[in-house]
Chains A and B, each alone.
Chain A
Amino acid sequence: MNSRVLDIIKGIDDIPTLPSVAMEVMDLTRSAEVSIREISECIHKDPALAMRVLRMANSSFYRRGSKEIDTIHRAILMMGLNEVVNIATSVSVLSILNPKNDERESLRRKLCNHCIATALIARYMDKKIHLRAQGREFVGGLLHDIGKIIFDEYFHDRFLEAHELSIRKDCPMFEAEKEVIGATHMDVGSFLAQKWKLPPYLADIILNHHNPADAQLKDITALISIANLLAKAREISCGGDTISFVLKDQGAWLILKKLGHPMDTLDLERITFEMEDIGQEVQKYISTVLDQPSEGNADG
């Protein structure tokens, strides 16, 4: 990455941060001996966060049984510690992704919708191929383009310029970013993930989602790479390049196949048709986390 860009980012005082409790939860999970009680008490320190996690755990996105989950403690017992921590991270990240002044057609709105769509599709694909990523695919999907949020916030004009360049040249955004800004959203995003002290696998996913062969966590990164494409194929994207692709020829696809996942048994047409409602799912996700009435769909 261009060191000047890095210097500028380092120098930004008001760079977004995750809520302190979310950071604390993340810190706690680093220890192998963390108890359910510790995590649960930590999340409850931020009542708004706790409420959002519970709302999510009881929503159609996660709920399994018919019994309501009324405490974080119960959520952890029923869903597992990892899934609850991932939900806490996801709802914290969303408050950063979601634009403050909501213009329906703004690039930022499209970016946010794209990140959520990628997360939802990654979660869906995780179930399809039984990867059992336990929510890491969701958080990774949500964060994969976080670097673009930084560009949009602090390098807005140049980011728009890069966006236009990628349309004009029909090239990937990261190439245009490199040319106009001097760094890619992968570089900046993974830097931010480290700064936020997110688990290292997230910086890995963010850095390598366009080239999962280089990732440490190849399977989940490949899955997110595919989800990213499928979200774009549903036109929930902010990239300038008009996309067309053969999924079975993608590096990410071949990696998952090589790792022994049942890629050849998937009905890709049906998976694609099932994505048709993803725009509404994105809206539903936003309104569930933020407890707002849902409005329309996110297509486009």
Chain B
Amino acid sequence: MADFLDPVASQMSDETFLLLRDLIYEHSGIYFSDNKKAQLENRLSLRLKANNLPDYDKYYYMLKYDPQASRELKALFDSVTTNETSFFRSPPQIQAFQEKALPEIIQHRLEKGEKVLRLWSAGCSTGDEPYTMGIILKEVLKDRLSEWDVKIYASDISEKALKSARASTYNEYTLRSVPPEIKKNYFIQNGPLFTVCDEIRSLVELQYLNFNDAKRVKLMRGFDIIFCRNVLIYFDDAAKKNFVAQLYDNLNPGGYLFIGHSESLHNISRAFKLVHFPGALGYKKE
């Protein structure tokens, strides 16, 4: 019966949704499309409770006008970022990588007579992303893969995540977007668990890296493609600008940067060319 006495979580009106969406986009570059309203409402309901606020309007005004708002913004970003990661996450981006960016770079390399590819999964978490990149490299190059000097660097700040990545063993849920034949060809099943096969594992080099360590980040040079998805949200604007400028320098000319599916560099960098792919965006260094 206690539930009955609790303040009933208020509904987010369409107007408040638009205000919050603009505010979040302005501060984080993350965009919530109309069909994500329920998701945002759900995530923010916890922030409402934490701040003891009766409705989303009050929450918006707090963010907008309270001098202490920057602290709450951090908490808000944490709550709207999914810490979840999975194989073949955001399929249109993966498809853009597989069908457009990668073939373009391979072609470019072949013309120069260099069979070298350097990829970086910046913020690789438990390894789903770099192994996905490895699988796709194999799918694109097929038997020719062995003729190439390929390395996928995968870095993260969490030792715990890196440990999972090293174990490279996943459950069915993490593999939910993986097509059946990919699952069959690249994973070894052991009961309910799936381990990435050695051929793919050998392409990936895992390492600890703190993005605030500017010297070490600078050393990550000569990349053809960088995935840095849903990482930027953890930086403030100035740090974001520095880090993205560094990523630009880390890329080879003609290389691509992919950030989170609904992340934007609009106010962060003008150095890249924005490329539209079907259902996804990429940033190209010319």
B235 to chain A, nearest CB (A): 17
Interface bin, chain B: 20 to 34
Judge whether B33 and A269 touch: CB under 8 Å: no
Q: Are B278 and A246 in contact (CB under 8 A)?
A: no
What's the count of A-B pairs with C-beta under 8 Å?
66
A200 to chain B, nearest CB (A): 32
* Nearest-Cβ distance from residue B249 to partner chain A, whole angstroms: 21
Known A-B contacts A235-B279, A244-B96; the reply to A273 vs B31 at CB < 8 A is yes
Residue A276, interface by CB 8 Å: yes
Tell me if B31 and A270 are in contact (CB < 8 A).
yes
- Are A248 and B273 interface neighbours, CB within 8 A? yes
Contact B33 A277 (CB under 8 A): yes
B contact residues around A229 at 8 Å (CB): 276
Q: Which residues of A contact B275 (CB under 8 A)?
A: 244-246
Q: Which among A247, A273, A280 is the interface contact of B274 at CB below 8 angstroms?
A: A247
Contact in complex: B276, A233 (CB < 8 Å):
yes
Query: Judging by beta carbons under 8 Å apart, are B99 and A269 in contact?
Result: no
A221-248: which have CB < 8 Å to B? 229-230, 232-235, 242-248
5 further A-B contacts with Cβ under 8 Å, apart from A235-B278, A249-B273, are A242-B100, A248-B273, A267-B266, A270-B266, A274-B33
Residues of A within 8 A of B281 (CB): 269, 272
B264 touches A276 (CB 8 A): no
Across the two chains, which residue of chain A brings its CB closest to B22?
A270
Q: Which residues of B contact A272 (CB under 8 A)?
A: 276, 281
Q: Is the interface of A mostly helix, strand, loop or mixed?
A: helix
Min CB–CB distance A61 → chain B (angstroms): 15
User: How far is B278's CA from A230's CA once the two chains are assembled, in angstroms?
Assistant: 9
* Chain A residues near B99 (CB-CB < 8 A): 242
Quote the shortest CB–CB distance from A254 to chain B (angstroms): 14
For the complex, is A268 an interface residue (Cβ under 8 Å from B)? yes
By beta carbon, the residue of chain B nearest A272 is: B281
The answer to whether B273 touches A246 (Cβ under 8 A) is yes
B273 — which chain A residues lie within 8 A by C-beta? 246, 248-249
Leading 3 A-B pairs by shortest Cβ distance: A269-B264, A273-B31, A276-B33
In the complex, A249→B274 CA distance in Å?
10
A-B contact pairs, 8 of them (CB 8 A): A242-B100, A246-B273, A248-B274, A267-B264, A269-B31, A270-B266, A273-B31, A280-B35
Which of chain B's residues have a CB closer than 8 A to the CB of A234? 278-279
Given contacts A244-B276, A247-B274, contact A277 B266 (CB under 8 A): no
Measured between beta carbons, the chain B residues less than 8 angstroms from A277 are 33-35
Question: Which residue in chain A gives the minimum CB-CB distance to B277?
Answer: A244
Asked whether B25 is an interface residue with its Cβ less than 8 Å from the other chain, the reply is: yes
Alpha-carbon distance between A247 and B274 when the two chains are bound, in angstroms: 8
Chain B 37-75 against A: per-residue CB contact (8 Å), 1 yes, 0 no? 000000000000000000000000000000000000000
The answer to whether B35 touches A276 (Cβ under 8 A) is yes
A233 touches B31 (CB 8 A): no
Query: Which A residues lie within 8 Å of B35 (CB)?
Result: 276-277, 280
Q: Which residue of A lies closest to B36 (CB)?
A: A276
Q: Is the CB of B264 within 8 A of A245?
A: no
Q: What CA separation (Å) do A274 and B21 show in the bound complex?
A: 11
Question: Could you tell me if A243 and B278 are in contact, using CB atoms closer than 8 angstroms?
Answer: yes
